[in-house]
Structure 1
Amino acid sequence: MSKTVFVSGATGFIATHIVNDLLQAGYKVIGSSRSVEKGEELKKQFNNNPQLSMVVVKDIAQEGAFDEAFAKYGKEISVVLHTASPFTFNVKDYEKDLLIPAVNGTKFILNAIKKYAADNVEHVVITSSMAAVADVKQMATPITLTEESWNNQTWEGCRTDPVTAYCASKLFAERAAWEFLKENKDQVNFTLSTVNPGYVYGPQMFVDASKKVLNTSSEIINQIVHATEESQIMEICGPYIDVRDVSKAHLAAFEKKECYGQRLLLAEGMHASQDILDIINEDFPQLKGKIPVGKPGSGSEILAKNCKVDNRKSKQLLGFPFRSLKQTVDDSVKQILEVEGRL
């Protein structure tokens, strides 16, 4: 009998890769989506694989959001991968739209496990973020971040702008998970790990040609591909990782005993938006002269002023190499151009 894995937010950018990897590895998957329609669409994308079933969780911020799903399936679920959390900067009420859903969603899925699946669930993996390790201000200073580092924002102080609020939402959600385990260690049997990726790039698991705007991190590359020579490119700087490596890490987080109880920092290196521009201009001649060039080769100067990530511990625990920025960007751009018939 194959194990059953519950994946919250199964229709998301990272989650669809996770579902694919789980099915390929022979697991049964129960995914949650916000509507019946989204769940049915995902099942179709996976060719109605009988190993995949879907449940509806309309609003992760609502008390008891996951209770119905775990009351029904809790006795067969062995592993829970909690990927559902808001990731958008297009919000006005930071507490209502970012902070509360992230924290409550984490608390409510853990409470549902405690109520309906405490004897069955062996492992829980939370999709956290490098944003829980440091916020943008910390990342803009010459410090070294490790698995022991934490974003230093407060609930009151983080509601200044959407980026800071989002970073804090990941911080408080992850803290809530570790605190829950500490407070309920005698009432649940699961191990906990968190996966903390930086900027997540890479190809979409499924392509929708009608979708002009991609998920928040992929949209950074998408906007460059569709820019003009005079366009102003959003200045970014921070750790990067490929979505396929993020997915692989979620499986390793519960399959490898070494990963139990660990924060797994996912970053192959640091990058600036200039580095992405340089790769695209060099590797895609059909775009050269049509998109900005910026200041070629200046990415290293920008990075010299910013933080470093020392995640040697995480890389050793996971035991597999991460993809380079070049491969990640190239695969992302190829997919976009193929969909548009420009490759």
Structure 2
Amino acid sequence: MKNRKVKVGIVGLGRLGYRHAENMAFRVPHCELLAVCSVVEEEVKEAQEKWGIPYGYTDYDKMLENRELEAIFIASPSRFHCEQIEKALEAGFHVFSEKPLGLYLEEVEKVEKAVSRHSDKVFMLGFMRRYDPSYAEVKRRIDSGEIGEPVLIRCYGLDPAGKLDSFLRFARDNYSGGLFLDMAIHDLDLARWYLQAEAEEVWAIGGSYAYREFAELGDAETGAAMVRFAGNRIGIFVAGRNCVHGYHIETEIIGTKGTLRIGTVPERNHVMLFNEKGAIKKCFEGFLERFEQAYLKEAEEFITCILENRKPSVSVRDGVESTRLGYACKESFETGRLVRIKS
């Protein structure tokens, strides 16, 4: 293992895919980024020239024919994940896929079967918050009994208003899956992870307020969901795309003996400006900045699992159940009804 490198090909070179590719090219030990793939030819050429990547593709199937590769890293739009996961597994590769696992229950359950058929391969899903130091520390404290039995989780996930135009272009191409599957999916996964319980009922509401375009797309600019988990545990989730002060992620877990809270103020650093407007702190501008270390750590874990022939803690089942809950939120929002979740 000392000198061995896992040869990886990545599909998707958008904002997040570009960051993953750069990490694997330069920052992830024992990893060699050997191939890049995107339907945008200019993105492929730029990555190859800038980083010296030997293979470039605009056709995903062609990349899968490259037998020098050992693993495929999927950072394409959400609606392509399931098909690309299955193809990569069938072609004999280890697979990492960004969240969500998929946009529909039928397809994620099909992918789960494919992962089971290829149990000799490492499959990992990109719920990167589990690898963020603060979120990982909260998990350790919950498991140690520090707050007793966790009974309620409250999550805010608010994207910066400055990114709205680019997201609307993404949504119009039917790539996102909507507010609950695209954005809130991280919080839904955290709730399952922290509470160690599956969802049973959900009621979701939302609307388009400053940006009516979301209503035209059948989506919400801002939405909220209340979820009853097994054991009568409670989940409260708020997601929005019009946060004027920046990228705001906040999580609180209330237990029978105490409370844990993460990210109450989304401060970029410890610098504070005092002027005629008061005391001012800069906020994070986006998810890539806030979770920079988490994205790196999850990629490192994927490569290490391949080298050590072990499975990551984030499983395909986590993807299936989080999608099941996200889809139930979407259904409740669209119908205005309480949705009971079938196990």
TM-score normalised by structure 1 residue count = 0.41
Q: Which structure features the higher share of strand residues? A: 2
TM-score, length basis structure 2 = 0.41
Higher relative contact order (CA 8 A, sep 6+): 2
